Amino acid sequence: MRIALAQINVTVGDFVGNLAAIVAAARDAYQLGARLVVMPELVLSGYPPEDLLLRPSFYAASATALTQLAAELSVFKGLHVVVGHPHRIDAHANRPLKSNVPPSDTFNAASVLLDGHVLGTYLKQVLPNTEVFDERRYFATDPKPYVFELDGVHCAILICEDIWYPTAVQEAKAAGAQLLLVPNGSPYHLGKENLRTDIVGARIRESGLPIVYVNNIGAQDELVFDGGSFVCNAQGECVARMPQFEAGIALVEFDGATPQPSKIAPELSLEAQVYAALVVGVRDYVEKNHFPGVLIGLSGGVDSALVLAVACDALGPERVRAVMMPSCYTAEISIADARQMASRLNVRYDEIEITSVFDTFRLSLAKVFDGLAEDTTEENIQARIRGTLLMALSNKSGSIVLTTGNKSEMAVGYCTLYGDMAGGFAVIKDIAKTLVYRLCRYRNTSDAFVLKRIIPERILTRAPSAELRANQTDQDSLPPYEVLDAIMQQYMEEGRSGADIVAAGFKPEDVARITRLIKLSEYKRRQAPIGLRITSRAFGRDWRYPITSRFNEVL
């Protein structure tokens, strides 16, 4: 028996396009001799649909698409296709669905399609409601296993979170399952691939059942899905693994319920994973939202250099426009480095000098600012001039502005509202500054790229600076990034207390300052554009701190 793992990229709400992608994948698998194809979680609707799942018409559209899909797949005689989809008991009911009413008849489902019919449907039992997930808002559960027979093998379906806990696996085994098929919509974060294999290994040790794990690929708003689908035998050994961040189909031979050794994709380094996630995230956000291209404010610094590199790798240089907006504080080497990088990547490059605009603002404000010393107000005016110019170009061209702020800056508020925060998509908002440098060096040296050394070395070696006043560096206002990033990771991502971080060896004054700035900057982050989630906890949908709060943690 041959089972195909279909790691395909679909779009939320595009039932027509998703149906076509499923049929194409099934056709390829059928031509390769597969008897069974396993698709990702909610592949028919795209994942996650969020509050579209509160629209009755969404379930009606899903039911119509599922019927049409079964009919179109009927030409592949004898091919079993496992398809994830939203399911409502009465798909065409008009009763409103409300977030304040516990769901009772809507489910996260996976159906087996065979010869034009729905052979059977499994309803997800364990609904995640942590981190970026809130499935209990939309779905009910039905704790019943579903097992079907194929070529003498009893196959059970579980969906994503079901495999993270023992109960659903034990119930499937009790119902006679010999092989577990697991469609997933498991978003990427650092270390996630090891976490998945650890969880699957634990379930195999408990049950003695082999597992086929098929994950989603592509990006949906903030979330990036990395694929990395795999098959493990009853001993917990990985016998097949698909590449991360690449769509495709893998065919695995089975002797009964026992998977035979197949191709195992090489593991990616941390830098390779993160860079690929950024590329996929930018490409899908721009493509799926039909933007003609992107605009980037290029500063001659490391953050905008990384964003420019990612954008070119994601979209091609012909869809990327870089704009340098020097002021009287911009160093000549910054201009030279920006020009050099734009030339190496062959992107459209413009320079718009802002000193005269800045002087006009100063003149307009001179009377009301009389007697007041210059401070961050004048620095922020420059950033806002640049933001206004980029948004003007965006309005004229239709291209989206990619912001260039990193996680370290977003954490402590080292950014300007309506200035460098102005834009439509924050590519590196979950990338700490120290990781920014690692990614740039990776991009410059990796054999994965034909064109290397695209980021001028001076950008990577000079002290980072916002260049909003004379002789400015980031460390005038911030602790060293190695310190800032480590404290941020422990406090924000790992949830450690300030006292624990001090006990780990950090200066109390640094911990107090950084944690205070993280809290004070919440009002800024709430107004920032969405951006890609790379770590286990990003500022965004899995960070929900109040803006108005008087709570202070004692160190």
Catalytic site positions: 41, 124, 160
Percent helix, percent strand, percent coil in the chain, to nearest 5: 40, 20, 40
Q: Which residue carries 């009755």 as its tokens?
A: 56
Output the six-digit token pair for 233: 């035998």
Q: Does residue 153 sit in helix, strand or coil? A: strand
Rounded to whole angstroms, the Cα distance separating 95 from 56 reads 7
Nearest by Cα to 105 from 117, 120, 92, 119: 92
Q: How far apart are CA 82 and CA 121, in angstroms?
A: 9
d(CA 529, CA 403): 8
Closest CA to 157 of 199, 108, 190, 195: 108
Structure tokens at 519: 């809290």
Q: Distance between CA 280 and CA 126 in Å, rounded?
A: 29
- Up-side HSE of residue 473: CA atoms within 13 Å toward CB? 8
Tokens of 412: 């402590």
Return d(Cα 373, Cα 288) in angstroms, integer: 48
Backbone angles phi, psi at 168, to 5 degrees: -65, -35
Which residues have CB under 8 Å from 41's CB, separation 6+?
47, 84, 108, 110, 159, 160, 183, 184, 185, 216
Contact (CB, 8 A) for 375 and 399: no
Q: In whole angstroms, what is the distance from residue 325 CA to residue 327 CA?
A: 7
Tell me the residue ranges of DSSP E strands in 56-192. 80-88, 106-114, 117-123, 147-150, 153-157, 179-184
End-to-end CA distance of the chain: 61
Q: Coil, strand or helix: which one is 225?
A: strand
Longest Cα separation, the chain: 88
Cα separations (Å) of 92 from 88, 98, 108? Answer: 8, 16, 17
- Residue 246 in contact with residue 266, Cβ under 8 Å? no
How many other C-beta atoms can be found within 10 angstroms of the C-beta atom of residue 373?
7
